[in-house]
């Protein structure tokens, strides 16, 4: 409905207002107040806590296409962001059904109470199928989720705020998502039945440039035997190389890669010139592409979910992967010496690149999953093999 036809529906305690004036009414959950951002949809059936704590979702509002949320509750272990600042992840959420009570042995808190504690403003009772179809046809809109138990909303004012927002284009968010001080990380991947444990192998030293890293990326590095050191996004190349890493990982993160590239690209180029193996993921993939001379572009609806088919062109294997990105490398701009290694089977967009004469590669999707399938975990082993070769040569 439009602002002119948005008469209050009985029981309405929350609204989703889009920049074109479209209004969805529903029932509020989570925190009260309002949140502004880019509205995208995520097709994952599980992992709502990991999704909402992924720093790549900063300044975004997530519409979950799977109708049921809350059934496994939440816990302290499944938070993906480093640190406890909830502003470094998604701030708004949209659900078809209201969150249900938890029924899982790992749960320590109900989902709705957790949303409230994190300050996530959410709305339920929305026709998420219609909203998803709208995004698929028209792209990701700017919008506001507002929650007020009184049901009293100034719709024209909310429309004006949404329309006035400049969006993610040209916005460097990595500078806000990154750690502020270098830090080590030692936790291994979750295993049944003991859960998380501390890594015991020390085969490699990996420096992770943190643009908004997920913890499961760090755990996957520990799992291949790495001593992991996380450094802020604006750390100079000299400081990174002084740490004598066997490899450098360029992490995922939020925002426009072209904006982050202003300070990230010179660092990445120096690391590549030093011969150190490099592995990029998501925003790190886009950063690598820009450093090698390619261009990036804003996608209409992006890729957000845990069921995306991607083909590894180096092996011919098709993987089902987890994705979360609204920008991509323009494959038509890949320079000589750089090859496309992975491609989306949904839309043919680029999902991986590699240098032909250096141990440098990256992927757009999330091989660490969390949530999602683990078809692509082999990429960490590929990175490990590059580091083994590098160590032998360096010796």
What's the residue count for the chain? 395
345 phi/psi in degrees, rounded to 5:
-90, 0
Give catalytic residue positions: 282, 366, 368
| 358 contacts 272 by C-beta, under 8 angstroms | yes
- Crossing angle of helices 283-291 and 257-273, in 10° steps, is 60
Given the structure tokens 């992490």, which residue do they identify?
251
* SS3 label, residue 36: strand
Kindly provide the residue ranges of all beta strands, DSSP E only, lying in 19-167, ordered along the sequence: 23-30, 33-42, 60-64, 92-94, 121-124, 142-147
User: How far is Cα 283 from Cα 174, in angstroms, rounded to an integer?
Assistant: 9
Residue 219 φ then ψ, to 5°: -65, -40
Q: Is residue 105 packed enough to be buried (19+ CB in 10 Å), middle (13-18) or exposed (0-12)?
A: exposed
Distance CA 300, CA 319 (A): 23
Identify the burial level of 148 via C-beta atoms within 10 angstroms of its C-beta, where 0-12 means exposed, 13-18 middle and 19 or more buried. middle
Strands (E), the chain: 14-18, 23-30, 33-42, 60-64, 92-94, 121-124, 142-147, 183-185, 204-210, 226-232, 247-250, 278-281, 295-312, 317-330, 338-344, 350-355, 360-363
Q: What is the dihedral of CA 87, 268, 383, 187, to 10 degrees?
A: -30
SS3 387: helix
DSSP string, 278-290: EEEETHHHHHHHH
């Amino acid at each position: 409905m439009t602002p002119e036809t948005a008469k209050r529906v009985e029981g309405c305690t929350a609204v989703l207002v889009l920049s074109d004036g479209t209004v969805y009414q529903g029932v509020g959950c989570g925190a009260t107040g309002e949140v502004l951002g880019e509205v995208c949809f995520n097709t994952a059936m599980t992992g709502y806590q990991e999704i909402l704590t992924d720093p790549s979702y900063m300044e975004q509002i997530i519409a979950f296409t799977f109708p049921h949320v809350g059934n496994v509750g939440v816990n302290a272990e499944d938070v993906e962001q480093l640190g406890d600042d909830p502003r470094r992840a998604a701030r708004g959420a949209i659900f078809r059904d209201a969150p249900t009570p938890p029924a899982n042995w790992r749960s320590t808190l109900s989902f709705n109470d957790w949303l409230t504690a994190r300050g996530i403003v959410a709305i339920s009772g929305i026709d998420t199928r219609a909203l998803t179809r709208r995004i698929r046809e028209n792209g990701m809109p700017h919008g506001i989720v507002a929650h007020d138990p009184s049901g009293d909303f100034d719709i024209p004012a909310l429309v004006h705020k949404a329309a006035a927002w400049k969006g993610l284009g040209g916005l460097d968010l990595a500078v806000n998502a990154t750690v502020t001080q270098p830090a080590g990380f030692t936790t291994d991947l979750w295993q049944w039945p003991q859960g998380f444990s501390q890594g015991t192998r020390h085969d490699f030293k990996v420096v992770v440039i943190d643009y908004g890293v997920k913890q499961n990326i760090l755990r996957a590095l520990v799992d291949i035997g790495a001593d992991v050191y996380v450094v802020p996004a604006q750390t100079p190349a000299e400081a990174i190389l002084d740490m004598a890493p066997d490899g450098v990982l360029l992490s995922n993160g939020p925002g426009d890669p072209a904006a982050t590239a202003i300070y990230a690209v010179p660092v990445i180029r120096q690391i590549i010139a030093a011969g150190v193996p490099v592995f990029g993921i998501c925003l790190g993939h886009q950063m690598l592409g820009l450093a090698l001379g390619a261009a990036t572009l804003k996608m209409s609806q992006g890729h957000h979910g845990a069921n995306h088919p991607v083909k590894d062109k180096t092996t011919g294997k098709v993987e089902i992967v987890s994705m979360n990105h609204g920008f991509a490398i323009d494959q038509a701009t890949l320079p000589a010496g750089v090859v496309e290694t992975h491609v989306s089977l949904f839309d043919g967009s680029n999902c991986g690149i590699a240098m032909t004469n250096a141990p440098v590669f990256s992927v757009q999707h999330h091989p660490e999953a969390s949530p999602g399938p683990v078809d692509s975990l082999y990429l960490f082993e590929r990175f490990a093999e590059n580091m083994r070769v590098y160590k032998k040569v360096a010796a």
